[in-house]
Amino acid sequence: MTIATKPLQKPNECIICNHSNDVEYWDTERYLDTPFVFPKSGRKYVCAECIASAATEFGYLTPEAATLLKDRNTYLETENEEVRLQSDLAKVIIEAAETLAAGQPGRAKTLKPPHIESTPTTSPAPEPEPDAEDDE
């Protein structure tokens, strides 16, 4: 079975809708042969519009819906990785806080955060707030 730009052999139309539209056709490579003259005898084609309608009825995704789902999946995978990295970092911070609270400050220096593949931000340090005494 192949795709054709138009029905080339008689009856030159879609077997389902009986139209010869300006769309691609699925060439079934099958024939309807009858022992008598019949206007629908010949090669059988199905137009892309009828295939799309049938696919929708059977629950298949349109190409647009499939692309949308792939894009959404990519976005969610990225978000999931970011949340996982934040969770790993939070665990390291909690472990460091527990170590410091247990009175072992030397141990806290050996803790290393998970490898994070991001560009560090270069924000300037905040300016110290002026003391109220300096204003007098």
Q: What is the pLDDT of residues 9-30, one digit of tens each?
A: 667 788 888 888 778 888 887 8
Query: Does a structural domain hold residue 48?
Result: yes
Average pLDDT over residues 115-125: 53
Residue 123 lies in a domain: no
Overall number of domains in the chain? 2
**How many alpha carbons lie under 13 Å from residue 10 in its C-beta half-sphere?**
7
Please state the pTM of the whole predicted model: 0.45
> Which residue type occupies 104?
Q
- Choose the final residue of a domain: 38, 57, 76: 57
| 39 in the same domain as 75 | no
Task: Kindly report, residue by residue over 48-64, the tens digit of the pLDDT.
Answer: 899 988 998 899 988 88
Asked if residue 7 and residue 49 are part of one domain, the reply reads: yes
pLDDT greater than 80 at residue 105: no
Instruction: With respect to residue 113, please indicate whether it lies within any of the assigned structural domains.
Output: no
Tell me if 130 is assigned to some domain.
no
35 and 80 assigned to the same domain: no
| Residue range(s) defining the domain that contains residue 11 | 2-57
- The residue written with tokens 């090669």 in the block is 43
User: Which residue(s) pair with 26 in the sheet?
Assistant: 3, 46
